[in-house]
Structure 1
Amino acid sequence: MTTTAKTVLITGTSSGIGLATAVAAARAGWTVVATMRDTAKAGALRAAAADAGAGDRIHVERLDVTDPASVAACVEAAVAAHGRLDAVVNNAGAGQLGTIEQSTVDAVRAAMEVNFFGVVEVTRAAMPHLRASGGRVVTVTSVGGVVGQPFNEAYCAAKFAAEGFMESLAPVAATVGVGVSVVEPGAVASEFVANVDLDVPAMLDAAGPYAPALQAYIDRTVKAFGAAQTPDEAAVAVMDVLTAERPPFRVQTSDWAREFVGIKLSDPDGSAVQALTADWTS
């Protein structure tokens, strides 16, 4: 099957930035393969797409980024159904809060599976089709993919890894006509934080010597998310990268995110970042 509308596959579209980007892309005329691990959670996406008058361009499909067979099947089915694949937006992600002494290596591996290896699997499966279309890979990382943050060791490690992977891939992909960019949100008012599924009182009770620092971090983070940008606002940056003729490699979704990332990128010895994040735990 061949179509003239460009096709984008977006992961993690049941809520937040993924949902907002799927609706924005459909409204802009893209054929959107909107994927999620549990398609029973597609109600909010379908309703938002219908409200935007773009429901007919949203095609909900199951994709578990931690399952290579699921990734391969979804990508191949998307190309078979729509005739082409012009872009992938790697958006699926999962938080992991804690410090390593009180966590497990399995928890770190789980964070890496979703936030890093899932991105690798989807990108690898999509690349032959993106070469054919002269397409692009857009990966939603985080300011936590640039600046390491207290009690986010596993999450930031995974996002750092995704950024390093994409920064290394970008010049190679460019030689075969594929653009690569990362989009770095700061705090976004979405279900992402709720999806971390934390019992904060229990965490504090179990934190032992880390309890004061954890309490300070939680207090600071609650305030940050109280002033967060909306998923729709963050999706604007994703769409800009998706549609620009020559998008930059790295894009932030807000002035705050640009300022925050800028601290790290102009901090060769790490002292500025350490001074900043130490304040979050005191």
Structure 2
Amino acid sequence: MKTWLITGCSSGFGRRLALAAARRGDQVVATARDVKAIEEMAIPFSGRMIALPLDVTDPATARSAVGRAIETFGGLDVLVNNAGYGLFGAIEEGTAEEYRPMFEVNVFGLIETTRAALPALRRRGGTIVNMSSGAGIAGSGGGGYYNAAKFAVEGLSEALAGELAPFGVRVVIAEPGPFRTDFLGRSITLAANEMPEYAASSRRNYAETNDGNQAGDPDRAVSVILQAVDAQNPPLHLPLGPVAHAIAERKLAAFRADIDAWRDVSIDTDFDKP
């Protein structure tokens, strides 16, 4: 039996992971910025799930949630950093008032929640699941700010994996493609400054035309995440769904092509040997 702390449980993958973990008999600290949105979810799992407020932009609430996990369940085995949202629009269209809050939630909030949980995770050799995205594998026009936030999550997670391996703490970067959650319906914002020059690449209609039509079954993705958490040797990178896998394959091929095409020129940059 594992003890989980999951952020962003009011909807989407966070809510589904919390329910799936509790249904299989694990103990869950489900959190959300508005705890009222998740209180009813915890009622059927009295004694195995508690609902707590956690605003990832307020590090004190993360420390409090970790403390309650230890007080209630005796420790912590799994941290899932799921809270986040997206900003669509061209780079020139976005403003600091729009993109800085997204980084506060998606990157700095993840960092502070992780830092709060690390002492408890090191004691048990636990697992961190950081929810990235196909957008964290490769950038695309109109998603640059969201790409940048998820790329930061990927780099941070890779560094954490190296730092925490001596303690037996594993890191899994979940990289879902399009799944039929309510992410596009409630967790996407658009840059207010709509510029006609970027009409073809700003992805302004992506959420509207794809919400509810995604091919991915989120419950099947959750099942894969549970398998990774339970695995003796989980993957660091976990693309979820055929779209995410296709993004990764294209990125690897393009990266290799660039390296190979410019190898002779770009590798010859050391001082001449005496």
Normalised to the residue count of structure 2, the TM-score between the two structures is: 0.86
Partner of residue 216 from structure 2, selected from 218, 222, 229: 229
User: Equivalent residues in 2 for 1:1-282 (5 A)?
Assistant: 5-42=1-38, 45-46=41-42, 50=44, 54=45, 56-196=47-187, 198=189, 206-214=194-202, 218=205, 222-223=209-210, 226-268=213-255
Residue 55 (structure 1) shift:
5.6
Change (3 A) 1:43 1:190: farther
The aligned amino acid for 2:41 is L
SS in 2 for 1:66: coil
| Cα distance per residue 1:182-239 (max 9 Å; x no partner) | 0110011112111246579xx6x93322224336x62598248613313212211221
Change (3 A) 1:249 1:174: same
1 CA distance for matches of 2:155 and 2:124?
A: 25
The aligned amino acid for 1:93 is G
Change (3 A) 1:267 1:212: closer
Residue 23 (structure 1) shift:
0.9
Whichever structure has more helix as a proportion of its residues is: 1
Rg comparison, structure with higher value: 2
SS in 1 for 2:87: coil
Q: How many residues align?
A: 258
Change (3 A) 1:191 1:239: same
SS in 2 for 1:100: coil
2 CA distance for matches of 1:221 and 1:160?
A: 25
Contact 1:169 1:180 in 2 (8 A): yes
2 CA distance for matches of 1:138 and 1:220?
A: 25
Residue 136 (structure 1) shift:
1.1
The aligned amino acid for 2:115 is R
2 CA distance for matches of 1:196 and 1:138?
A: 20
The aligned amino acid for 2:237 is R
Contact 1:15 1:44 in 2 (8 A): no
Change (3 A) 1:247 1:199: closer
2 CA distance for matches of 1:90 and 1:42?
A: 17
Alignment root-mean-square deviation, CA: 2.4
Change (3 A) 1:262 1:75: same
Change (3 A) 1:226 1:197: same
Contact 2:177 2:240 in 1 (8 A): yes
Normalised to the residue count of structure 1, the TM-score between the two structures is: 0.83
Contact 1:237 1:252 in 2 (8 A): no
Contact 1:8 1:86 in 2 (8 A): yes
Contact 2:133 2:174 in 1 (8 A): yes
| Cα distance per residue 1:53-107 (max 9 Å; x no partner) | x465221111011111111111112111211101101111111111222221232
Gaps of 5+ in 2: 259-274
Q: Percent identity?
A: 37
Contact 1:189 1:231 in 2 (8 A): yes
Gaps of 5+ in 1: 272-282
SS in 2 for 1:267: helix
